[in-house]
Amino acid sequence: MTTPPTPPPDEVFDWLDAEAEKRANAGLVRQLRPRPARADELDLAGNDYLGLARDKRVAGAAAAAALRWGAGSTGSRLVTGSTELHTELELELARFCGAQAALVFSSGFTANLGAVTALSGSESAIVTDKYIHASLIEGCRLSRADVAAVAHSTPSAIKHALETRRKPRALVVTDSVFSVDGDLAPLGELAGICRAHGAALLVDDAHGFGVLGEGGRGAVHAAGLSGAPDVVTTLTLSKSLGAQGGAVVGPRRVIKHLVDTARSFIFDTALAPASAAAALAALHALKEEPGLAGKVVENAGNLAMSLKAAGLKASLPDAAVISVQAPSAETAVAWAAACAEQGIRVGCFRPPSVPDGISRLRLTARADLTEADVDRAVKVITATAPRGAIA
Ligand SMILES: Cc1ncc(COP(=O)(O)O)c(C=O)c1O
């Protein structure tokens, strides 16, 4: 084998330019754009489903906590201590979800990394739906477990993978509401299959919490699985609660195990006090206004039906997320930009963020959308649609 030539220091990163060119040719360049504090546009791109991110109770609680506890949490909770805000948030989250205990993380991403890795390992098989969120996929990659990613929303494939596994322990991992098309996993059926095969079930309820279930208690609660001894739920505090951070809720011994072993908890600076206080205030708001959750689902359904009626390839949402298929990555980017120019902010998902390679506009409904908002959005999205997007 010949040794490759040694590049001079200023050529070490030349390969990045080659990769960037490939992405540009495939229409996959990502752009960061400035965001004003107050934008005069209809936001159908963010995940602030209940409109709580700017709620005075929520933002005010964050400000007060920052003044009392400081801007950052200064270290891992195992090193610098756990504030009463963290403890209270965990108690209230667990109670709200009907679980024994909860543990908050600095983000939903780190909650997923911590939960998947700590609940598996080299003696485990992990079986996942192949459309799970990137953070769960990274957890699987880090886990050292045997990982099988099976066809989307196909319980028989999960069952087959469990039956043919070569490891004694098993963990089934799924999103509740999938982030691309907004469809709901068959959680009850999956729990039954897990039980028949001695597997634990880990559900990422990032898009279900605050939106589905009684008063927004989430998809796991709606499926009658809250408090189950073999089910663990991960959450983000950054969507319905309008704050920032993540959590794992489940059996007490699982939470204790995470404190001892989840590296993304142990070696990560704790959730900022301001974020914990904001999430707590948002949870209180949700309890005071339980109707907010149902309103999101209703608005999402109306928006999707109107888009479909206009001939667009829109998914039918089980929660707040709707996708509208675009003919290509380039047309999806141009379509989203054209919507923004006309005051409608929508998301744009392209490979590698879409598991099936189909680029899409991604829309999210909110509790505070009016009928006029929905009409305006449909008008603009239809008028700016590229050739091939309307059936
Ligand atoms: C399904 C799902 N899980 C986890 C996450 C990560 O949560 P966070 O943004 O709080 O890190 C997201 C968010 O983007 C998500 O959509």
- Spacing, Cα 239 to ligand 1 middle (Å): 8
- Spacing, Cα 236 to ligand 1 middle (Å): 6
Cβ atoms within 10 Å of 141's Cβ, excluding its own = 13
Residue nearest to atom 10 of ligand 1 (CA): 108
- For residue 353, the model assigns a pLDDT of 80
User: Is the CB of 238 within 6 Å of ligand 1?
Assistant: yes
What is the residue-level pLDDT of the chain in tens, covering all 391 positions?
788 889 999 999 999 999 999 999 987 888 888 888 888 899 999 999 999 999 999 999 999 999 999 999 999 999 999 999 999 999 999 999 999 999 999 999 999 999 999 999 999 999 999 999 999 999 999 999 999 999 999 999 999 999 999 999 999 999 999 998 899 999 999 999 999 999 999 999 999 999 999 999 999 999 999 999 999 999 999 999 999 999 999 999 999 999 999 999 999 999 999 999 999 999 999 999 999 999 999 999 999 999 999 999 999 999 999 999 999 999 999 999 999 999 999 999 998 888 788 999 999 999 999 999 999 999 999 999 999 998 8
Q: Could you say which DSSP state residue 3 is in?
A: P
Report the C-alpha gap between 225 and 188 in whole angstroms: 8
- pTM reported for the whole predicted model: 0.95
* CATH code at 290-383: 3.90.1150.10
- Spacing, Cα 309 to ligand 1 middle (Å): 31
- For residue 391, the model assigns a pLDDT of 81
User: Is the CB of 135 within 6 Å of ligand 1?
Assistant: yes
3-state helix, strand, coil in the chain (%, to 5): 45, 15, 40
Cβ atoms within 10 Å of 13's Cβ, excluding its own = 9
User: Is the CB of 175 within 6 Å of ligand 1?
Assistant: yes
Long-range contacts of 77-85 (CB under 8 A, 24+ apart): 77/265, 77/270, 78/259, 78/266, 80/270, 82/270, 83/273, 83/276, 85/273, 85/276, 85/277, 85/280
> Which of these, 268, 249, 381, lies nearest to 325 by C-alpha position?
381
* H or E segment and range at residue 200: strand 200-204
User: Is the CB of 275 within 6 Å of ligand 1?
Assistant: no
User: Is the CB of 235 within 6 Å of ligand 1?
Assistant: no
Kindly give the residue spans of alpha helices, DSSP state H, lying in the chain.
Answer: 14-25, 56-69, 77-80, 84-97, 108-118, 134-142, 155-163, 187-196, 219-222, 252-261, 263-266, 273-288, 291-309, 329-341, 371-383
User: Is the CB of 129 within 6 Å of ligand 1?
Assistant: no
User: Is the CB of 128 within 6 Å of ligand 1?
Assistant: no
- Tell me the best of 178, 202, 207, 236 to mutate to test the pocket of ligand 1, counting ligand atoms within 8 Å of each CB and taking the most: 236
User: Is the CB of 73 within 6 Å of ligand 1?
Assistant: no
Report the C-alpha gap between 92 and 276 in whole angstroms: 11
Report the C-alpha gap between 57 and 127 in whole angstroms: 41
Ordered by start, the domain boundaries in the chain are 56-288, 290-383
- Spacing, Cα 75 to ligand 1 middle (Å): 22
- Residue 347's DSSP bridge partners are 362
Token readout for 130 is 């192949």
- For residue 354, the model assigns a pLDDT of 85
> Which of these, 317, 310, 298, lies nearest to 371 by C-alpha position?
298
- For residue 39, the model assigns a pLDDT of 81
Token readout for 9 is 């220091």
- For residue 36, the model assigns a pLDDT of 85
User: Is the CB of 236 within 6 Å of ligand 1?
Assistant: yes
The edge-to-edge listing of strands for the beta sheet with 169-175 is 101-105, 246-250, 231-236, 200-204, 169-175, 124-129, 146-150
Is 3.40.640.10 the CATH number for 56-288? yes
> Which of these, 238, 179, 175, lies nearest to 203 by C-alpha position?
175
- For residue 374, the model assigns a pLDDT of 96
User: Is the CB of 133 within 6 Å of ligand 1?
Assistant: yes
- For residue 9, the model assigns a pLDDT of 94
User: Is the CB of 109 within 6 Å of ligand 1?
Assistant: yes
- For residue 361, the model assigns a pLDDT of 97
Yes or no: say if 145 and 124 are a contact pair by the CB < 8 Å rule: yes
Q: Could you say which DSSP state residue 4 is in?
A: P
